């Protein structure tokens, strides 16, 4: 059995000890969460692959400065997904349209 598997089993069995060891908190109010991090599908407004620079340009168009989830969080989510999928540099731009 690999070290990775052994550590996963120990962390699952003794989470309070890992919390105390790694972040210095004493707590028995701990819940083990699912380790599978499923991702719901999202759609970017525009994703353009630029062959010359081997990079991805991601553009989001917004009419409001506030959204749920917040724009910075959404952009981070898009960035991670695009980087993982295309394995090249990602440039992101948010274009805000001013209302009347």
Backbone angles phi, psi at 14, to 5 degrees: -125, 60
Residue 4, H or E segment: helix 3-13
Question: How confident is the model over 5-41, as pLDDT tens digits?
Answer: 898 899 989 999 998 898 898 887 888 888 887 788 8
pLDDT of residue 29: 85
Question: How confident is the model over 48-98, as pLDDT tens digits?
Answer: 998 888 899 999 999 888 888 999 999 999 999 999 999 999 999 999 988
Query: 53: buried, middle or exposed (CB in 10 Å: 19+, 13-18, 0-12)?
Result: exposed
For the chain, the domains span: 1-35, 39-100
């Amino acid at each position: 059995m690999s070290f990775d598997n052994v550590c996963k089993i120990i962390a699952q069995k003794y989470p309070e000890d890992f919390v105390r060891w790694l972040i210095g908190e004493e707590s028995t109010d701990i819940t083990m969460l699912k380790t599978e991090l499923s991702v719901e599908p999202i759609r970017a407004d525009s994703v353009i692959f630029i062959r010359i620079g081997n990079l991805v340009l991601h553009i989001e168009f917004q009419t409001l400065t506030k959204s749920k989830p917040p724009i910075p969080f959404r952009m981070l989510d898009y960035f991670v997904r695009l980087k993982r999928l295309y394995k090249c540099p990602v440039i992101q731009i948010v274009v805000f349209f001013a209302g009347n």
